[in-house]
Amino acid sequence: MKQQKKSLTIMSIVGTRPEIIRLSRVLPKLDEYFHHIMVYTRQSYDYELSDIFFEELELRRPDYFLDVKSDSLGGQIARIIEQSEAVLKKEMPDALLVLGDTNSCLSAVIAKRMHIPIFHMEAGNRSFDWDVPEEVNRRIVDHISDFNLCYTEHARRYLIREGLHPKTIFVTGSPYAEILAYYNSAISGNTVLTDLNLIPGGYFLVSVHREENIEKPDRIRELFASLGSLADAYKKPVLLSVHPRTQKKLASLGSLHPLIHCHKPFGFLEFARLEKNAFCVISDSGTIQEESAIAGFPAVQVRVSTERPEAFDAGSIIVTGFHKDALNDAIKMATGEFQEHRVIPADYRDVNVSEKVVKIILGHTAIRKYHKL
């Protein structure tokens, strides 16, 4: 039977592994409901950081691959906007979907100038910390988007307080519970523990890559000194997933503690399996709150600010600095009373976020196209 041509065209633009993971259940549904054009900016330009995730998550190949590699921030942003413009002009979609706060999301700037409706998923997050580069991006994209799809009530209230109209703001919930449920069998069957000779509860898992942490020499030195102290205190290996930004800084630190084991970035299934079985996860990721709350593993976020306060409201995450005493105290609490009384924030529990997101996009895109609102 010949497949009926889709009436509406949507373009999605992604550039990094968190975007690919968070959209992993949405992208197939866009294929189902729309003529869907997927654009991959390759912002990370590293196979382990992004490309492998399309294969691992069983996602189809993007329709366009951009080349935005640059030696400067301004150069990368310019290339993202310039190359996104070329694709948008060629395809002229009825809507654009972006997620989060990466430089790739700034493709929305040119879409706005072209009067293409923009749907922004993961909207409204606020750290109120201008040392965080993503804080700038997310505020820009929120305020030029036609529709903002927030994960939480906190995020919705932030946007309303900033003057955005309530009828353009939707709370969809976090997509991570749906993602975890979908890939649960593959995660459980992953062999990374055996491959690395690890036992459940017998190691720390560390992922630190944020610019505001890695680019400050005093901060990264203090972090690795603290990790060495943890290794001594707990006699457990510290498995460090090394982002390219972190790798560049390791040489300046000299020799690391013998129990600190550096590893190239893991795939999604490997990392989710490692998180679930770690004694404690130490991360500066912006998504660790969702992951730890939903998957149920103890975690400490090493940052001075966060854009997900709902995790604090539920008592499901601890944020601390890098000093060894503060980090050690946080780990004791995370693996003790926090783990015993863990609560999943209400906005993290939805397992049908992808359907919700696609229906919002479908309804409002159709109205705009056919009624010219």
Active site residues per annotation: 209
Q: What CA–CA distance (Å, rounded) separates 334 from 340?
A: 9
Q: What is the CA radius of gyration of the chain?
A: 21
Helices (H), 202-267: 211-214, 217-234, 244-250
Q: By the 8 A CB rule, do 53 and 78 touch?
A: no
Name the one residue in this structure whose structure tokens are 């449920």: 181
Q: By the 8 A CB rule, do 303 and 319 touch?
A: yes
**E-strand spans in 105-154?**
118-123, 147-150
What 78-84 contacts at long range (C-beta under 8 Å, 24+ apart), as own/partner pairs, is: 80/15, 80/41, 80/43, 80/104, 80/106, 80/107, 81/106, 81/107, 81/109, 81/110, 83/41, 84/13, 84/39, 84/41, 84/110, 84/111
Structure tokens given for 298: 């103890």
Closest C-alpha among 128, 125, 157, 165 to residue 141: 125
C-alpha 220: how far from chain center: 22
Helices (H), 162-216: 176-182, 184-188, 192-195, 211-214
322's CB contacts (< 8 A; 6+ apart) are 219, 222, 223, 226, 302
Q: What CA–CA distance (Å, rounded) separates 87 from 85?
A: 5
Name the one residue in this structure whose structure tokens are 């366009």: 64
Specify which residues 261 forms β-bridges with.
239
Q: By the 8 A CB rule, do 310 and 347 touch?
A: yes
Q: What CA–CA distance (Å, rounded) separates 142 from 151?
A: 13
Helix (H, G, I), strand (E, B) or coil at 50: helix
Q: What CA–CA distance (Å, rounded) separates 63 from 39?
A: 6
